[in-house]
Amino acid sequence: MVLEIQIERSDYIPFFRLSETILGDRLPKLTDEEIMSFLSNANWIAFPMPGEKTKEEIENRPFPHIDLNIQGTTVRIGLRCNTVKSVDRLRNVLESYHSSEKAAILEAMKNLDDDFQTIVYAKIKEHNWSERGKHESKFQIQSNRIDEASIKQMFDTAGKIREEGSSRMRDEHKPHNPVTPVIEIAFVTIPKNDEQLFRAKLTQMERIFETCLKLKTLGFIRSEARRKSKAKLGNREVSFGCPKCGTEYSKEEARSKKFCDVDGMKIHAIFING
């Protein structure tokens, strides 16, 4: 006969307090009652960031979140991309849009101990967007063994899950997406009563979390590139002249004449980097 261990919801409070000593100002200062308000009906907690007031804000965050689940005599800690936007941000960095951030994340992951795992799930919600999702593992690797090949496989898997959801929305005329990808960047399960081990595992995870908070969307990257390009253009000096004979003209002359007086060639603007 297996003895079922009863989990009290208040058991999460000491773990949150312990996490405060590691994550510092990445966690808001909460009362015990406020901590309990972030505990889900499924008996797990996603850690809020300063300014977040509800569970829904965390679940829809465009960045990864740290979550914690007490399971009998063990506790599970994970760093999870729960939304399409958070998956896309991770994809931006790991598919080489940010070489320095990519290096930082991969170094932190390679420094994780062998207990950590990385998983891609298909989160399934058959009936409506607010139901409790069922998670099916589609790809798994030991976190510190991740490399270019496994990164590609990870996001190929996430892409296939997204395609499945889009196809089902279209073909089944569903008002919500029934299948979406979730990436658990790293998670580990440890004994519940080992405070020192909890500290060590969360400290390892915190290094990845810190880098993930700095990730940018692809749209932001492109807009930043356009802004820098415009700034560069704005810093250039411009002159006007004939591309054939080299005769120079003022801006006003170039506008009024349009063509060179000497050989009839169209007057061009010539940019000089400032």
Residue 70: pLDDT over 60: yes
Q: What is the mean pLDDT of the chain?
A: 84
Q: Which helix (H) or strand (E) holds 241?
A: strand 237-241
- Closest of 192, 185, 204, 169 to residue 70, by C-alpha: 192
Mean pLDDT over residues 214-223, rounded? 50
Range with the lowest mean pLDDT among 77-91, 219-233, 259-273? 219-233
Q: What are the pLDDT digits (tens) for 111-159?
A: 999 999 999 999 999 888 777 788 999 999 999 999 989 999 999 999 9
**Would you state the pLDDT for residue 1?**
42
Choice between 155 and 96, residue whose per-residue pLDDT is larger: 155
**Would you state the pLDDT for residue 111?**
93
Q: What are the pLDDT digits (tens) for 227-262?
A: 545 555 455 567 777 766 667 777 787 777 777 766
Q: What is the 3-state secondary structure (H, E, C) of 202-227?
A: HHHHHHHHHHHCCCCCHHHHHHHHHH
Contact 117, 142 (CB under 8 A): yes
Range with the lowest mean pLDDT among 50-59, 226-235, 265-274? 226-235
**How many Å apart are CA 17 and CA 45, to the nearest integer?**
13
pLDDT level of residue 73 (50, 70, 90 thresholds): very high
Mean pLDDT over residues 27-32, rounded? 94
How many residues in total does the chain contain? 274
- Closest of 71, 63, 110, 88 to residue 210, by C-alpha: 63
**Would you state the pLDDT for residue 84?**
86
Residue 8: pLDDT over 50: yes
Contact 143, 120 (CB under 8 A): no
**Would you state the pLDDT for residue 231?**
52
**How many Å apart are CA 258 and CA 256, to the nearest integer?**
6
Q: Please name the amino acid found at residue 66.
A: I
Residue 94: pLDDT over 70: yes
Contact 163, 192 (CB under 8 A): no
Contact 88, 80 (CB under 8 A): no
**Would you state the pLDDT for residue 158?**
95
Q: What are the pLDDT digits (tens) for 30-55?
A: 999 999 999 987 788 999 999 999 98
Give the count of beta carbons closer than 10 Å to the beta carbon of residue 136: 13
**How many Å apart are CA 38 and CA 68, to the nearest integer?**
11
- CA-to-CA dists, residue 223 to 84, 86, 98, 100, 205, angstroms: 20, 19, 15, 19, 31
Q: What percent of the chain has pLDDT over 70?
A: 82
Radius of gyration over every alpha carbon of the chain, rounded to an integer in angstroms: 27
